[in-house]
Amino acid sequence: MTVALEVRNLRAGYAGREILKGVSFQVEADDFFAIIGPSGAGKSTLIRCVNRLVEPTGGQVLFHGVDLLSLDQARLREARRNIGMIFQEFNLIERLSVMDNVLTGRLGYTGTLRSLMRMFTAEDISQALALLDRVGLGEYVDKRADRLSGGQRQRVGIARALIQNPRLLLVDEPTSSLDPKISREVMALIREIAREFHVPVLCNIHDVELATEFCTHVIGLQDGVKKFEGRPGELDAQALQEIYSMEVL
């Protein structure tokens, strides 16, 4: 198995407060990692440190062997093209159509001038259409993003990430804004797609049940420290107690 992502002793913080206190783990090609832990444990920061939406203060993030933390802005942008991201609040561009939202996933490959004219290539458009069909939104191509329901919006978000042809998917609380039924559907879709496209996934999720059901590996984070790593089956009551002890107190 090839290692897609290796995080070594990652540290992050701001204003003198440490949020991540040296976290390490490895994600292999077909892994679906769940990061669980209480609110404020640093889950979101961890995921954002991988593509440097949050700038880490120390450690290494090796993406297919290249340390992302050492890259300059231009090379970082190139690396980001290969990392898809799915957000808690979907982060769609509300006033643009579903098609345009998915096509924004190709901006990393589209020149500035062409993108200002919204000129995307024919291949991009047909790939966007195929992906929208795949996530079940083939009928909604021309709808404006703000006309969709939460579940549909998240599907647009998934299509936008996939059109990047990513080699890693970062998923930040994909189900927190959705109801339980839609949450399961979205998680199932992400898992199916990850298998179909052979993309490893790193997914923050506060819902332990969903994490153990859909993921292949679980990392338990508490107060910026990794307290648990293992298969979902190994996550017993004692491990949970360990991860969530702050809340029990």
74 binding other proteins? (CB under 8 A): no
Cβ count near 76 (within 10 Å)? 14
Closest distance of CB 223 from other proteins, Å: 31
Nearer to other proteins, 3 or 129 (CB): 129
One of 9, 70, 126, 245 touching other proteins (CB under 8 A): 126
One of 76, 129, 182, 240 touching other proteins (CB under 8 A): 129
133 binding other proteins? (CB under 8 A): yes
Closest distance of CB 98 from other proteins, Å: 11
CA distance 99 to 201: 24
Contact 191, 205 (CB under 8 A): no
CA distance 154 to 160: 10
Q: What is the DSSP letter of 141?
A: T
Q: What is the DSSP string of 129-147?
A: HHHHHHTT-GGGTTSBGGG
Are β-strands 3-14 and 58-63 bridged in parallel, bridged antiparallel, or unpaired?
Answer: antiparallel
Residue 90, token pair as written in the block:
């979907």
Nearer to other proteins, 64 or 144 (CB): 144
One of 53, 76, 96, 125 touching other proteins (CB under 8 A): 125
Nearer to other proteins, 1 or 117 (CB): 117
Residues that bind other proteins (CB under 8 A): 99, 117-120, 122, 125-126, 129-130, 133, 141
